[in-house]
Structure formats: C-alpha cells, structure tokens
C-alpha cells in the first residue's frame, strides 16, 4: 500500500525516530508533524496532550490518508496511545517508551539512570513500566524540566548560542543530581534517554559522562516494530525502488518553520523544500 506513514512529536525530537524509520523502511513515504507551537508536551497537562494527540491524528488521517501512525513522543504515548487504539482499531499504531528493558540487558553494574520529561515520569504508563522491572535492576530517575525546550530553541539561529549554553547547564545539573556514572560497583553505567529530543544531545552527554557509559534510546526498536506491524497487515509499500529522501519525506510544523528547516537540514540532510507550515486549524 503506497499511502504514507504518519509520525508526530511535540517538536523536533521525533526526527530521531524518523531517522531510524528511514533506515528500516527505505521504500516508505513519511509525513512528519512537529507540534512546535505547543512544545514541549512534557510540561503540559495530560488533558492538553491528549487533545493535541487526537487533533493531530485526525489531521494526518484526513489530509494525508496515513496507513500507520508512529507517536514519536514519550509524553504523548503515555497520555493518549490507549485512547488512540480504542478510537482507531484498524490503524497500526506504534508509540515510544523509555527503554528500561533494553538497558537492563546492557548494564553490567545493575544501576541504570533514566532521564525524561516531567510528563512522562508522572504518567501511569511509566509507573507501570518501572514497576514491571523493580527488583531486576536499580533505577535512578530524573525529570529534566526545560531540556527539551532548549533543544528546540537550539535550531533557531537567533537563539542557538544561548540555547546551547542552557543545554550544557541543564545536562550538568541533572546528571550531577542523579549520582555517580561509571563502571565501578553501584555506579550508573547505562543511561536511558526517555525523550526523543535527548538523542540530539548524545555527544554532549557522552562527553560529560565518559566513554564507558552506555546511552540507550528507542528509535531502532520503534522502527523494527513499525516494520513488523506493516508486514503483518500487508501494508508495506510496493514500489520496487526506494525514492529519493526528498521525494518521500514531507515535514510540517505548527510553529516556527525556520526551526524545522534548520533541524531537518542538520539531522536528516533534507532541504528546506521538504518543510511546510501546517494548517492553523489543527
């Protein structure tokens, strides 16, 4: 089936998931929506996030006839994916969640750090996930207020320098508050990136924590699950040759178009022509 796959996030963070989807599904077309006008979701109420999730899903179905939806936002997944599944039972849906179980498989010390937004960590879904692994490893969790917003702002030329300084400040503040990272007894040797935005500061985190600390994100697992669902439903694209990335990826934003264009060029190698302003009524 040649309809596109929909992907959305509160902002640019979901582009890290889109990177993995591109790699796993080279024949597919994608429509990505960044809800920058309302980012970050992690500092909004559950009700607000659910309303935005439903509005964006309706838009992607009605205007782009998507055949599957990837909710590339931990906060939106936690708040609303159960409602989406109830309302759209025929639509293949994939969400994201902090990769606690993959991190357990990697950790040698048994002590794992988790960073995420306040909204993700306050959710019932995260509480159930954390409860499911209790006793199997030690988890130190840290809500990182302001970090996703600073990463968003780092794509805007007029705010980039100040935003980068803020990112560095917040990374030092939050990782220091968590305790000691390293490979020694009781130290955290693995850090779960529980927000898709955080993938874009991996290099800074690695430099801060040291080369022996493993950083774990969810993009590749989400891409594998998306492919499995499409295969099971017989919805994989039938084109024999993969199109150029510029022909198969369209990106939309409810906010600042310059920021999305800068992010798309920096992280996906896409031109400004791939980016568009979303309709104001979403």
**CA 171 – CA 233 distance, rounded (Å):** 42
DSSP conformational letter for 188:
B
Is 87:50 a contact under the CB 8 Å cutoff? no
In this structure, what are the phi and psi dihedrals at residue 52, rounded to the nearest 5 degrees? Answer: -65, -40
- Name the active-site residue from 103, 195, 263, 270: 195
Give one DSSP letter per residue of 104-160, joined into a string: HHH-SSSEEEEEE-HHHHTSHHHHHHHHHTBTTBEEEEEE-TTHHHHHHHTTSTTTH
Structure tokens at 276: 């568009």
**Exposed, middle or buried, 234 (CB in 10 Å: 0-12/13-18/19+)?**
exposed
In this structure, what are the phi and psi dihedrals at residue 26, rounded to the nearest 5 degrees? Answer: -70, -15
- Residue whose tokens read 């809800």: 35
Query: Is 195 assigned a catalytic role?
Result: yes
- Name the active-site residue from 15, 31, 68, 73: 73
Distances, alpha carbon 142 to alpha carbons 24, 84, 127, 177, 206, in Å: 31, 28, 13, 8, 17
Side-chain half-sphere CA neighbours of 149 within 13 A: 14
Just list the catalytic residues: 73, 195
């Amino acid at each position: 089936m040649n309809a596109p796959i929909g992907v959305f996030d509160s902002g640019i963070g979901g582009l890290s998931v889109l990177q993995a989807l591109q790699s796993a599904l080279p024949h597919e077309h994608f429509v990505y929506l960044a809800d920058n006008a309302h980012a970050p979701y992690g500092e909004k109420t559950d009700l607000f996030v659910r309303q935005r999730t439903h509005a964006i899903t309706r838009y992607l179905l009605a205007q782009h006839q998507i055949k599957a939806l990837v909710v590339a936002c931990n906060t939106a997944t936690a708040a609303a994916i159960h409602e989406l599944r109830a309302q759209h039972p025929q639509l293949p849906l994939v969400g994201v969640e902090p990769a606690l179980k993959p991190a357990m498989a990697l950790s040698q010390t048994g002590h794992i750090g988790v960073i995420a937004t306040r909204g993700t960590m306050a959710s019932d879904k995260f509480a159930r996930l954390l409860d499911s692994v209790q006793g199997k490893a030690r988890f130190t969790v840290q809500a990182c207020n302001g970090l996703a917003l600073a990463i968003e702002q780092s794509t805007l030329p007029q705010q980039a320098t100040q935003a980068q300084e803020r990112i560095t400040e917040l990374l030092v503040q939050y990782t220091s508050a968590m305790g000691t990272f390293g490979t020694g007894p009781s130290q955290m040797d693995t850090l779960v990136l529980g927000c898709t935005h955080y993938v874009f500061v991996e290099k800074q985190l690695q430099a801060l924590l040291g080369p022996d600390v493993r950083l774990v994100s969810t993009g590749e697992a989400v891409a594998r699950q998306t492919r499995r669902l499409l295969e099971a439903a017989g919805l994989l694209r039938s084109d024999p040759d993969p199109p150029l990335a510029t022909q198969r990826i369209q990106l939309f934003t409810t906010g600042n178009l310059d920021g999305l264009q800068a992010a798309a060029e920096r992280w996906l190698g896409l031109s400004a022509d791939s980016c568009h302003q979303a309709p104001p009524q979403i």
